[in-house]
Structure 1
């Protein structure tokens, strides 16, 4: 029989008030408190993050305060920067690729709850993983909801509410977020303009 933690990490409905999970949350709060109260010493902060998170590299910079539910379900790639006052609810895994930046006051939620009141009274959580690709820039005040995947090189504008998944190489904005620009097409247009300018200058 699966434990509630096994159910949670496998993205299956679980009991949020399970004693072991409550203890895990307590441990995460202790580590977050140590991190948030740490002196201006990057080596100390990195040491705490390595203990708190599921994985990260030496090339990580997170500005306090930072809060999360468990920590061990957060997996961060190389060259990661996150600004002040972010919140990760990591019941399901939150995976972030390499060379990513996250602005201040961004929230990533990898858990939801039943719509029916009886399910909520029973303290049932519904975990859904969040996956963020490589080279992604997420602006300040963004909210990313459970089950979302964001493709490589994509930009999420400040204050967006991301309710669904998006492909790579786009800019998304709004509430709910929608695609406002395709970056590859934009790059092609920029290259075409530069080529035309070069032809004029050579004439």
Structure 2
């Protein structure tokens, strides 16, 4: 297997393989052009993102700056919005559903390193997918680690560190992130805490 094949299969791999390094450099060039485009150059920005990511719709908005490793492992659904400083380490597939809102300074880390220092010092890495469902809101300063699924209609509170799967239709928060409660029809009445719409 090539190092890229190992990476995509969830096997230990060496990220500084020539092919992978070249692909990351290409992504960095596109990310640079995106991040340093003028605010008025929306069409240019969208074209760059569509050429970088594995799948997009015609309805998305990513606030610069944005960072990723490869781009081609990222899929975003309709009506995707991310605020400033989204980082996606997409060494494995990162799939994001429709109508997803991402707050500022969110990090999606599909990549990881071995725990033991002797193995880690060999420069071995690994990657596992991240899947985010439809209608999800991820608050600011959230970290989502590798091999995580977040279900549909869920809210991840600001500052959370997601280390385990989170089901659909819940509010989850904390470090580590845990379910606080289910989202119910009563929540339709309020826009913030107990302030009525």
* SS in structure 1 at match of 2:152: coil
State how many pairs are aligned. Answer: 187
Structure 1 residue 111, shift from structure 2 partner? 1.0
* SS in structure 1 at match of 2:54: coil
Aligned to 2:163: 163
Over residues 39-90 of structure 1, what are the superposed CA-to-partner deviations in whole Å (9 max), with x where a residue is unaligned?
A: 1221111100011111101101000000011111111111100000111101
Change (3 A) 1:53 1:190: closer
Q: Distance in 2 between matches of 1:70 and 1:146?
A: 16
Aligned to 1:87: 87
Aligned to 2:52: 52
Over residues 7-54 of structure 1, what are the superposed CA-to-partner deviations in whole Å (9 max), with x where a residue is unaligned?
A: 111222211111111111111111110000011221111100011111
Change (3 A) 1:42 1:190: closer
Aligned to 2:78: 78
Structure 1 residue 109, shift from structure 2 partner? 0.2
Moved more, 112-121 or 41-50: 112-121
Aligned to 1:61: 61
* SS in structure 2 at match of 1:28: helix
Q: Distance in 1 between matches of 2:158 and 2:21?
A: 33
Q: Distance in 1 between matches of 2:154 and 2:9?
A: 27
Where in structure 1 are there 5+ consecutive unaligned residues? 192-203
Aligned to 2:24: 25
Q: Distance in 2 between matches of 1:120 and 1:163?
A: 20
Contact 1:53/1:75 (CA < 8 Å) preserved in 2? yes
Moved more, 10-19 or 88-97: 10-19
Aligned to 2:151: 151
Moved more, 110-119 or 74-83: 110-119
**RMSD, aligned α-carbons:** 1.2
Q: TM-score, normalised by structure 1?
A: 0.89
Which has more radius of gyration?
A: 1
Matched, 1:119 2:119: yes
Aligned to 2:3: 4
Moved more, 120-129 or 80-89: 120-129
Aligned to 2:191: none
After the TM superposition, list the runs of 4 or more consecutive aligned residues in structure 1 that deviate by more than 4 angstroms: none
Q: TM-score, normalised by structure 2?
A: 0.92
Contact 1:9/1:73 (CA < 8 Å) preserved in 2? no
* SS in structure 1 at match of 2:153: coil
Contact 1:68/1:89 (CA < 8 Å) preserved in 2? yes
> Which structure dedicates a bigger proportion of its chain to helix?
1
